[in-house]
C-alpha cells in the first residue's frame, strides 16, 4: 500500500487495515509529516495488522525520526529502505539519498553513512545528521529478511504516489489562490491550472512533496501565462533562482515573492521545512528558530535563505486582500456541512421540540428540547437532543457504529452518569436524547473559579472526584440486558465531560460516544484519544489493546482531582510531545506543596491514583471513591451546590458554547493497495 499526505488523528484505521494480509509493503514516500496524534493513531493501526511479513520502504527523515523515538512505531515490521539526508561539501545543496537497509546494513550497524554524490555538482555529500541517533533503529534491528513475495510486490506495477499534481483553486476578495500539492514534475501542464483565474494569483507550493527541474519549469510557464500579477509563496530556492534569472519575467513586473521554503533542523524531529517571509530575507539571521512540532530551539539554514535574497526577486506587497487569503491554511479542505438553523418551537426530532440551541460541534448539533407526551394529560420533560449533522450520516457503516456505541452507553444507569434516554433515527437523521443537567461542566467551573479568584474548596474537590469515580465504576461494571458483563472504559475523561449541577450532583458524560464520534469523523479507534493531558502512561507507550483497562480512567480521575485541588495540571506543557514526556517520566509534586489547605491524606490518594504504573494504582474506580469517602475531608452536596451557584454569576451564560473545530489538516491518503 502507498500512503501520501500527513498522518494525523484523522488516519482511517479501518481502511488501512482492511485487506492487509499476507506479505504487506507500506510505501511512505509521499508522507510529508506526522503529528503526535498521528503517531498514536499509527501505532494503534499497526497493532491491528496481522501480516505474515510487514516491511516499510521509502521513509523520509521525519518518519525515520519516529522509528527512532517512538517504541512500537514499526509494530512487528522491518524498516527496509529509507532516505538519508546529506549536504554537499561544495555547493551546500541539501539532498536525500535512498538507502536499502538490506544492502547497507553492515555500514548502518557501524553507524556509518554510505557515500553520496551531490546531484548538482557531483561533489561529496556530507551526512547531515547524527549517525548514532539517525541509525539507532536500524542498527539495533536485525538485517531485514524480506521474503521473495515482498520483492515481487515491489517490482510489480505500482501507481506513482504523487503521479497527479493536485491543485486547490480558491477565490477570495480580489485574489485567486492556487495551492499545489503532491509531486510536481514535467507531466503536469499548467494551462488548465491558470484558466478561469480572477485578478492577481497567489501560487503556494507549501504542500509539494517532491519536485523535478521539469516541474519547476511548469511553474515558470504558469507565471508566464497568468493574465495578471503572480505572487509566489512557500517557494523552493531553486524556483526563486529560476524565476529571478528570467529577464523577461522580471521586466514585466508581474511576479513577486511572498515566502520561501527553508530547511529547519530539529534534534527531536529531524529536518523539516518552514516558511520564511520574503520581507525577512535581507535581515540578519535569527538566533534560533522554533520547531513547529515541539517548540524547541532549532537550527535554520539561514545561508540558504540568503541565497533567495541575493536573487533580488521583488517582494510581494502586503495587502488586506492577500492577508485575508493567507489566513486559510495551504491545505484547507472544504468546510463540513453546517448545522440547521431552527427557531424556538421547531421540531428537532419527532416529538422533541426545540427550546433553544446549545451549540454545534464538528459532527453534531445540540439542542435543549421539550418532550411532550399525552397520557391522561400533557406531560412535559426537558431533555438534550444531540443530532448528527447530515454530512456524517451518509456512511451506514459508521452510523451503525455510532448507534451501537450509544446504545451500550445507555445501559449505564447511575446517579453519577448522564443518562441516555433514547437512541434512534427518523428520516435518515440520527440522534441521541440525553438527560438534561442544569449546571456547568467542570472545565467551565475551573475557568470561572480562576477568573473570580475562588479556587475549589478542598472538601468540594474531594466530593466531586468521588462522584466521578463512582460514575466510572458504574460504567466499568455495567452489564447488558441479559446480565452479561459489558464494561465501558471512558478513555477520554477530563473536566470537559464532567457536569456539576446547581444542586451539587456530579455526572460523567460521553461514555462510548467519543469513540463513535471518532468513527463518524473517519478517525481511528485509537488507544490514545483526544484528551492528551489526561492519558495514562501505559497508553502513550503503545502497549496495544492490553493496555486498556479501568485504571486508565482512574489515572485521569486522579489528575482531575489534582487540578481541582491546585488549579494546575501537573503534566500539561506547551506541546503535546512535551506533555507526553511529562506524563511518562515526571513525578507530580504533592497537592499540599502547591496549596497549603490540601491535607496529607489527599496527597497519598492522589499519588496512588496517578501512579505511573497501573499496578501501583487503585485496582478500580470504586477503590478510589472509597478512599476519598474515608479521607474525612469530603463535602456534602449542599457545599458543592453553593460553589457552583456562586460561579454561575461569573463570566458567560450558564451553558457554555462548544469550542470551535480545529483547523483542517492535510489528511493521509491511501493511494493504492496491491
Same domain, yes or no, for 497 and 587?
yes
CA distances from 639 to 30, 85, 643 (A): 57, 62, 6
Q: Contact, 584 vs 36, CB < 8 A?
A: no
- pLDDT at position 670, please? 54
- The verdict on residue 333 lying in a domain is no
Q: 575 versus 500: which is more confidently predicted?
A: 500
How far is C-alpha 278 from the chain's CA centre? 30
**Least confidently predicted of 279-288, 458-467, 663-672:** 663-672
Question: Per residue, what are the HEC states of 245-304?
Answer: CCHHHHHHCCEEECEEEEEEEECCCEEEEEEEEHHHCCCCCCCCEECCCCCCEEEECHHH
Distance between CA atoms of residues 499 and 417, nearest Å: 9
How many independent structural domains does the chain possess?
4
3-state class (DSSP) for residue 397? helix
| Residue-wise burial string across 3-19, b where 16 or more C-beta atoms lie within 10 A, e elsewhere | bbbbbbbbbbbbbbbee
Same domain, yes or no, for 482 and 583?
yes
**Rg of the chain (C-alpha set):** 28
- The verdict on residue 394 lying in a domain is yes
Please compute the mean of the pLDDT values over residues 37-42 and round it to a whole number: 80
Binning pLDDT at 50, 70 and 90, where does residue 35 land? Answer: confident
Please compute the mean of the pLDDT values over residues 460-472 and round it to a whole number: 96
Please compute the mean of the pLDDT values over residues 465-481 and round it to a whole number: 91
Question: Per residue, what are the HEC states of 124-173?
Answer: EEEECCCHHHHCHHHHHCCCCCCCHHHHHHHHCCCCCCCCCCEEEEEEEC
Distance between CA atoms of residues 29 and 63, nearest Å: 10
Report which of 524, 625, 619, 543 is spatially closest to residue 584, judged by C-alpha positions: 543
Distance between CA atoms of residues 476 and 470, nearest Å: 10
- The verdict on residue 340 lying in a domain is no
Please compute the mean of the pLDDT values over residues 438-455 and round it to a whole number: 90
Please compute the mean of the pLDDT values over residues 76-86 and round it to a whole number: 92
- pLDDT at position 187, please? 66
Same domain, yes or no, for 533 and 619?
yes
Same domain, yes or no, for 475 and 413?
no
Distance between CA atoms of residues 361 and 215, nearest Å: 41
Same domain, yes or no, for 428 and 447?
no
- The verdict on residue 660 lying in a domain is no
Residue 409 maps to which CATH number? Answer: 3.30.200.20
pLDDT at 569 over 90: yes
- pLDDT at position 274, please? 66
> Domain containing 137: what range?
2-160+668-672
Degrees, nearest 5: CA angle 6-7-10: 105
Binning pLDDT at 50, 70 and 90, where does residue 232 land? Answer: confident
Residue 444 maps to which CATH number? Answer: 1.10.510.10
3-state class (DSSP) for residue 373? strand
- pLDDT at position 205, please? 84
Same domain, yes or no, for 148 and 280?
no
pLDDT at 464 over 90: yes
Binning pLDDT at 50, 70 and 90, where does residue 317 land? Answer: confident
Binning pLDDT at 50, 70 and 90, where does residue 336 land? Answer: very low
Same domain, yes or no, for 225 and 305?
yes
Q: Contact, 354 vs 344, CB < 8 A?
A: yes
Q: β-pairing, 270-277 with 289-290?
A: unpaired
Same domain, yes or no, for 197 and 213?
yes
Which domain-ending residue is among 435, 470, 494?
435
Q: 525 versus 40: which is more confidently predicted?
A: 40
Which domain-ending residue is among 294, 326, 358?
326
- The verdict on residue 582 lying in a domain is yes
Binning pLDDT at 50, 70 and 90, where does residue 606 land? Answer: very high
Report which of 136, 157, 155, 135 is spatially closest to residue 146, judged by C-alpha positions: 155
- The verdict on residue 661 lying in a domain is no
- The verdict on residue 663 lying in a domain is no
Q: 468 versus 405: which is more confidently predicted?
A: 468
| Residue range 131-171, pLDDT digits in tens | 888 898 888 888 888 887 777 766 653 444 444 577 777 76
Global model pTM greater than 0.75: no
Question: Which range is most confident: 6-20, 34-48, 385-399, 588-602?
Answer: 588-602
| Residue range 242-292, pLDDT digits in tens | 888 888 877 888 888 888 877 766 655 555 666 777 777 766 655 455 665
pLDDT at 655 over 50: no
Same domain, yes or no, for 444 and 416?
no
Same domain, yes or no, for 150 and 208?
no
Same domain, yes or no, for 255 and 111?
no
- pLDDT at position 642, please? 93
Which domain-ending residue is among 271, 292, 326?
326
Same domain, yes or no, for 28 and 93?
yes
Amino acid at each position: 500500500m502507498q500512503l501520501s499526505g500527513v498522518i494525523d488523528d484523522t488516519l482511517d484505521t479501518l481502511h488501512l487495515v482492511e485487506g492487509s494480509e499476507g506479505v504487506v509493503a507500506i510505501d511512505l514516500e509521499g508522507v510529508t509529516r506526522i503529528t503526535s496524534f498521528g503517531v498514536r493513531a499509527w501505532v494503534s493501526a499497526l497493532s491491528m495488522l496481522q501480516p505474515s511479513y510487514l516491511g516499510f520502504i521509502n521513509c523520509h527523515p521525519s518518519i525515520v525520526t519516529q522509528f527512532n523515538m517512538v517504541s512500537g512505531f514499526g509494530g512487528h515490521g522491518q524498516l527496509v529502505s529509507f532516505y538519508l539526508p546529506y549536504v554537499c561539501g561544495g555547493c551546500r545543496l541539501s539532498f536525500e539519498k535512498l538507502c536499502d537497509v538490506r544492502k547497507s546494513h553492515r555500514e548502518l550497524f557501524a553507524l556509518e553513512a554510505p557515500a553520496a554524490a551531490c546531484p548538482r555538482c557531483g561533489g561529496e555529500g556530507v551526512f547531515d545528521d547524527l549517525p548514532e541517533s539517525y541509525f539507532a533503529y536500524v542498527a539495533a534491528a536485525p538485517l531485514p529478511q524480506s521474503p521473495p513475495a515482498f520483492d515481487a510486490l515491489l517490482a510489480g506495477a505500482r501507481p506513482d504516489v504523487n503521479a497527479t499534481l493536485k491543485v486547490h483553486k480558491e477565490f477570495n476578495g480580489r485574489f485567486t489562490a492556487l495551492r499545489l500539492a503532491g509531486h510536481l514534475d514535467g507531466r503536469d501542464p499548467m494551462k488548465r491550472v491558470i484558466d478561469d483565474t480572477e485578478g492577481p494569483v497567489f501560487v503556494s507550493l507549501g504542500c509539494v512533496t517532491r519536485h523535478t527541474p521539469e516541474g519547476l519549469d511548469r511553474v515558470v510557464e504558469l507565471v508566464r501565462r497568468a493574465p495578471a500579477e503572480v505572487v509566489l509563496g512557500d517557494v523552493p530556492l531553486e524556483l526563486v533562482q529560476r524565476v529571478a534569472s528570467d529577464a523577461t519575467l522580471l521586466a514585466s513586473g508581474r511576479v513577486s515573492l511572498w515566502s520561501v521554503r527553508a530547511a529547519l533542523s530539529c534534534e527531536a524531529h529531524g529536518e523539516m521545512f518552514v516558511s520564511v517571509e520574503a520581507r525577512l530575507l535581507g535581515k540578519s539571521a535569527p538566533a534560533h528558530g522554533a520547531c513547529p512540532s515541539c517548540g524547541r530551539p532549532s537550527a535554520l539554514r539561514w545561508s540558504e535563505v540568503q541565497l533567495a535574497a541575493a536573487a533580488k526577486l521583488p517582494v510581494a506587497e502586503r495587502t488586506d486582500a492577500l492577508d485575508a487569503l493567507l489566513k486559510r491554511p495551504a491545505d484547507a479542505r472544504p468546510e463540513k456541512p453546517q448545522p440547521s438553523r431552527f427557531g424556538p418551537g421547531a421540531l428537532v426530532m419527532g416529538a422533541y421540540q426545540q427550546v433553544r440551541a446549545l451549540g454545534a460541534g464538528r459532527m453534531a448539533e445540540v439542542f435543549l428540547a421539550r418532550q411532550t407526551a399525552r397520557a391522561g394529560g400533557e406531560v412535559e420533560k426537558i431533555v438534550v437532543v444531540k443530532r448528527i449533522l447530515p454530512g456524517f450520516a451518509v456512511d451506514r457503516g459508521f452510523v451503525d457504529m455510532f448507534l451501537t456505541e450509544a446504545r451500550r452507553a445507555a445501559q449505564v444507569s447511575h446517579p453519577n452518569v448522564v443518562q441516555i434516554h433514547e437512541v434512534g433515527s427518523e428520516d435518515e437523521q440520527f440522534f441521541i436524547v440525553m438527560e438534561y443537567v442544569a449546571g456547568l461542566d467542570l472545565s467551565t467551573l475551573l475557568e470561572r473559579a480562576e477568573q473570580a479568584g475562588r479556587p475549589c474548596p478542598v472538601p468540594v474537590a474531594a466530593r466531586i472526584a468521588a462522584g466521578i469515580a463512582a460514575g466510572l465504576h458504574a460504567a466499568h461494571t455495567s452489564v447488558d440486558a441479559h446480565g452479561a458483563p459489558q464494561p465501558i472504559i471512558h478513555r477520554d475523561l477530563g473536566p470537559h465531560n464532567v457536569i456539576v449541577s446547581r444542586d451539587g450532583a456530579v455526572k460523567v458524560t460521553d461514555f462510548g460516544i467519543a469513540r463513535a464520534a471518532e468513527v463518524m469523523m473517519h478517525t481511528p479507534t485509537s488507544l490514545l484519544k483526544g484528551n492528551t493531558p489526561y492519558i495514562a502512561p501505559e497508553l502513550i507507550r503503545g502497549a496495544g489493546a492490553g493496555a486498556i483497562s479501568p485504571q486508565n480512567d482512574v489515572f485521569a480521575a486522579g489528575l482531575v482531582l489534582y487540578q481541582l485541588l491546585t488549579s494546575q495540571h501537573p503534566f500539561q506543557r506547551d506541546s503535546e510531545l512535551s506533555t507526553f514526556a511529562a506524563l511518562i517520566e515526571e513525578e507530580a509534586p504533592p497537592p499540599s506543596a502547591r496549596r497549603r489547605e490540601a491535607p496529607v491524606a489527599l496527597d497519598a490518594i492522589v499519588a496512588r491514583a496517578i501512579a505511573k504504573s497501573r499496578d501501583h494504582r487503585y485496582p478500580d474506580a470504586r477503590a478510589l471513591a472509597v478512599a476519598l469517602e474515608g479521607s474525612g475531608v469530603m463535602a456534602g452536596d449542599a457545599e458543592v451546590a453553593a460553589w457552583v451557584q456562586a460561579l454561575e454569576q461569573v463570566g458567560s451564560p450558564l451553558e457554555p458554547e462548544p469550542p470551535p473545530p480545529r483547523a483542517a489538516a492535510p489528511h493521509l491518503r491511501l493511494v493504492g493497495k496491491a
